Amino acid sequence: MNKPRDIPELYLNRELGQLAFNRRVLAQAENRATPLLERLRFLCIVSSNLDEFFEIRVSGLKAEIEAGSPAIGPERMRADQVFRQVAKEAHELVAAQYQLLNQEILPGLVNEGIRFLRRADFTPAQAEWIKAYFLREVMPVLTPIGLDPAHPFPRVLNKSLNFAVELEGKDAFGRNSGIAIVQAPRVLPRVIRLPREISEVEYDFVFLSSILHAHVGELFAGMKVVDCYQFRVTRNSELFVDEEEVKDLRTALRGELPHRQFGDEVRLEVAANCSPQISDFLLAQCNLGQDDLYRVDGPVNLVRLINVPDRVERPDLKFAAFRPGLPAQLERPGDLFSAIRDGDILLYHPFQSFQPVIAFLEQAARDPAVAAIKMTVYRTGAESELMEILIGAARSGKEVTVVLELLARFDEEANINWAQRLEEVGAHVVYGVVGHKTHAKMLMVVRREEERLKRYVHLSTGNYHPRTTKLYTDFGLFTCNEEIGADVNDIFIQLTGLGRATKLKHLWQSPFTFHKQILRAIQNETEHAKNGGKGRIIAKMNALLEPETIAALYEASKAGVEIDLILRGVCALKPGIPGVSENIRVRSIVGRFLEHSRVFYFHNGGAEDVYLSSADWMDRNFFRRVEVCFPVLDPKLKKRAINEGLRPYLEDNSQAWEMDPEGHYHPKPPRRGKPVAAQDALIEMLARGPSA
């Protein structure tokens, strides 16, 4: 009899799972109960997600097709098979996006006094202002390129806005190529608000594309513009740096970053009115086929609309604001070191404030008793209060060590810049371990107290990024537990020095013990169930893909272990299959905040072990990254982690989607009684109330 690991039918494809997740995000935009400006934001989030999907996942599929790679996933699908399904699903998803934009969201905004004007809608005063704006702000930075033997088709930047202009007539040199390309520089805003004095409603916006369409003829004096079509090219954005060959990773990466803008083409987006001749011409120039062409009825880059809700002062069209709360230990301002000595502190963002983490680092930076600060940084953004505090601490003479991951995708440039600034003030900066991204979230402060050194630690499921802590759900734990502090210290020594991995007391660490410990914990529940006891697993994470872990969950289910999986994104496991996974339930929560926390519960004969982690159950997290999974030891905090990090999501009947045995998600039908939305319930439970 075949084991689950060897049965392809028991596994789902990753790329198709990612598209299914984006379909669930789009459902938030489709939901008329979602505030109107938030519906627009969700629509933009789908586009942003799709951009990265094409840049990374689709580009990878194309590379596999070109190389003739065999089927390698547990579901045993070839790359060409996956690509055909991906193309079909992606085209349907994009069509649904623009249909929603044009039929519901834009008309709804018009009814609220928020318009996006088309050229045909310009009043004489608006047309005059727009022409002046074009001549003053736009035309001076445009470089039209007429195509001829001396001017071949330009290598347009990744995801940039471009225009293909059809022309008639001859130019000053007698040339008549019939077509020109105009690239819109990224310094130009894509959405411009018109002055209130020439607006007929409170908010009149105009797209840069509409302004260019209206006045593109100014760029081609004496020639006739037959038509003008906007288009956008998405490129392979993976960076190729051989970490084992380069002598200086930062220098090599800095040299590689510019090439991201000019990787191989993977997708072409054109306006719906683009003529077949022009779209075929553009496809040929990009070496793409018809499956790679996306015709859209509106702006080719909806991501550029994502900031519009922030520019519109209409609280009634947005989610209700709230003030993040604080745990009882931190309600009164005071010495954070003393508060942590009194007991571990658990924070659940964004329902509770991230400010204590900033305050902890600030206090450490100015405290003369603090001897050293060590921190891992994966994503922190181009501007970061935390990084500025670290720079100040190093400048004041403290021993500051930062393990900074240069290969954090799409944050490489920001991290390179932080590395340089930290080194300039004397901080120790290391880039982790060759071949393993450092994805663990750890902050350790070493403080001299009563003639001895004491470690204070903050461990987190999410990045030290103050902006995303307001948008992502994540747990953070403060502790001065000596054994956990020793574990964290050992990991920092691994990352900065050389030597074999030491045995840790409490932390599970990738790539050494995390996978083994997860399998051991699942097997332990399996044995409890086989012996007539209770087997229970609840796991919340972003993705579940690693085949051996899935096979272990199938075996646990067959033994009678009750398993609930709360998965925001991709899940390769199929629940509810008789004889295999009838005791497994899979649900996905998609709401106002991005579900990012990883919480693992194992009943363990009544001990109820709870772990928090930076890692999903994926091959890369288990084997190709440095990750930590840490226990919640304090009984009260363990109860909090269950009651806040798991139970509300299992009770959700408003934002939950449940997976069927075929891998399809369906909205959780509300039963009789009060509707429950996990994130709303957590705001009510943990926040301080409405924003002042």
Pick the CATH number of 322-502 from 3.40.190.10, 3.40.50.150, 3.90.280.10, 3.30.870.10: 3.30.870.10
| Contact (CB, 8 A) for 239 and 412 | yes
Residue 172: predicted pLDDT = 60
Tell me what the mean pLDDT of segment 7-12 comes to: 93
pLDDT digits (tens, 9 = 90+) for 652-669: 999 999 999 999 999 987
Give me the mean pLDDT over the 349-368 stretch. Answer: 96
pLDDT of residue 671: 67
The secondary structure of residue 561, as a DSSP letter, is -
**683 burial level (CB within 10 Å; 0-12, 13-18, 19+):** buried
What is 12-76 written as a DSSP string?
--HHHHHHHHHHHHHHHHH-TTS-HHHHHHHHHHHHHHHHHIIIIIIHHHHHHHHHTPPP-STT-
Per-residue model confidence (pLDDT) at position 333: 80
Is pLDDT of 253 > 50? no
What is the per-residue pLDDT for 520? Answer: 98
pLDDT bucket at 354, cuts 50 / 70 / 90:
very high
Per-residue confidence at 247, pLDDT binned at 50, 70, 90?
very low
pLDDT value at residue 393: 95
Task: Report the 10 Å Cβ neighbour count for 137.
Answer: 15
The gap from C-alpha 363 to its chain's centroid, in whole angstroms, comes to 30
Question: What six digits make up the tokens of 187?
Answer: 């310094």
pLDDT confidence of residue 351: 97
SS3 104: helix
Strands 399-404 vs 428-430: parallel, antiparallel or unpaired: parallel
Under DSSP, the state recorded for 302 is: G
Identify the architecture of domain 509-690 in CATH: 2-Layer Sandwich (3.30)
pLDDT the model gives residue 245: 43
Q: Could you give the CA distance from residue 18 to residue 61 in angstroms, rounded to a whole number? A: 14
User: Are 322-502 and 509-690 the same fold in CATH?
Assistant: yes
Q: What is the mean pLDDT of residues 171-190?
A: 81
Sorting pLDDT into bands at 50, 70 and 90, what band is 2? low
Task: Note the pLDDT of residue 263.
Answer: 76
- Place domain 4-317 in its CATH homologous superfamily: Polyphosphate kinase middle domain (3.30.1840.10)
In the three-class reduction of DSSP (H, G, I as helix; E, B as strand; rest coil), residue 619 is classed as: helix
- 261-265, 353-357, 452-456: the lowest-pLDDT one: 261-265
Instruction: Decide if pLDDT at 524 tops 90.
Output: yes
Q: Is there a contact between 678 and 589 (Cβ–Cβ < 8 Å)? A: yes
pLDDT reported for residue 252: 45
Lowest mean pLDDT among 148-162, 221-235, 323-337, 606-620: 148-162
**Phi, psi dihedrals of residue 434, rounded to the nearest 5°:** -55, 130
Question: Which has more confidence, 271 or 501?
Answer: 271
Type of residue at 617: W
Residue 250 has pLDDT above 60, yes or no: no
Q: What integer pLDDT is reported at residue 243 of this predicted model?
A: 43
How many Å apart are CA 354 and CA 632, to the nearest integer?
19
Question: Above pLDDT 90, what percent of the chain?
Answer: 76
Alpha-carbon span 290 to 449, nearest angstrom? 68
Catalytic annotation, residues: 439
Q: Which residue has the higher pLDDT, 258 or 346?
A: 346
Partners of residue 628 on adjacent β-strands: 509
Structure-model confidence comparison of residues 187 and 260, the more confident one: 187
Q: Which two tokens stand for residue 564?
A: 């609930």
| pLDDT value, residue 177 | 67
Q: Maximum distance among all alpha carbons in the chain?
A: 90
pLDDT category at 71 given cuts 50, 70, 90 is confident
Name the region of 348 (left: φ>0; alpha: ψ -120 to 50; beta: rest). beta
Cα 84 to chain centroid distance, Å, stands at: 25
pLDDT at 583 exceeding the cut of 50: yes
Which of 235, 266, 277, 273 has the alpha carbon at shortest distance from 90?
266
CA dist., res. 496 & res. 489, Å (int): 11
- Report the interhelical angle of 14-30 vs 79-100 (nearest 10°): 10
> Chain centroid to CA 673: how far?
34
CA 17 – CA 89 distance, rounded (Å): 11
Amino acid 149: pLDDT: 56
| pLDDT at position 364 over 80 | yes
- Reported as a pLDDT band with limits 50, 70 and 90, residue 529 is very high
On the question of pLDDT at 269 being above 80, the answer is yes
Q: What is the C-alpha to C-alpha distance for residues 661 and 168, in angstroms, rounded to an integer? A: 59
Pairwise CA distance, residues 677 & 45, whole Å: 21
Least confident of 27-31, 47-51, 501-505: 501-505
What per-residue confidence (pLDDT) applies to 407? 62
User: Domain-by-domain residue ranges, the chain?
Assistant: 4-317, 322-502, 509-690
pLDDT for the residue numbered 6: 76
Q: What is the CA radius of gyration of the chain?
A: 27
Q: What would the pLDDT profile of 107-161 be if each residue is shown by its tens digit?
A: 999 999 999 999 999 999 999 999 999 999 999 999 888 886 556 788 888 999 9
Rounded percentage of the chain residues whose pLDDT exceeds 70: 92
CB burial string 231-252: b at 16+ within 10 A, e below:
bbbbbbbebebebeeeeebbeb
Question: What pLDDT digit, counting tens, does each position of 372-413 carry?
Answer: 999 999 888 778 899 999 999 999 999 999 998 876 555 667
Query: Mean pLDDT across the stretch 215-239?
Result: 88
CB 630 within 8 A of CB 477: yes
In this prediction, residue 625 has a pLDDT band, given cuts at 50, 70 and 90, of very high
Q: Which long-range contacts (CB under 8 A, 24 or more apart) does 98-101 make?
A: 98/296, 98/297, 98/298, 99/297, 100/26, 100/29, 100/30, 100/43, 101/43, 101/298, 101/302
Distance separating alpha carbons of residues 604 and 295, to the nearest angstrom: 54
Tell me what pLDDT residue 261 has.
54
d(CA 236, CA 239): 9
Distance CA 535, CA 562 (A): 6
- CB atoms under 10 Å from CB of 651, counted, come to 13
pLDDT at 285 over 60: yes
The answer to whether 590 touches 25, Cβ cutoff 8 Å, is: yes
| pLDDT exceeds cutoff 80 at 30 | yes
Candidate from 2-6, 47-51, 178-182, 503-507 with smallest mean pLDDT: 2-6
pLDDT at 434 over 50: yes
DSSP helix/strand/coil, 93: helix
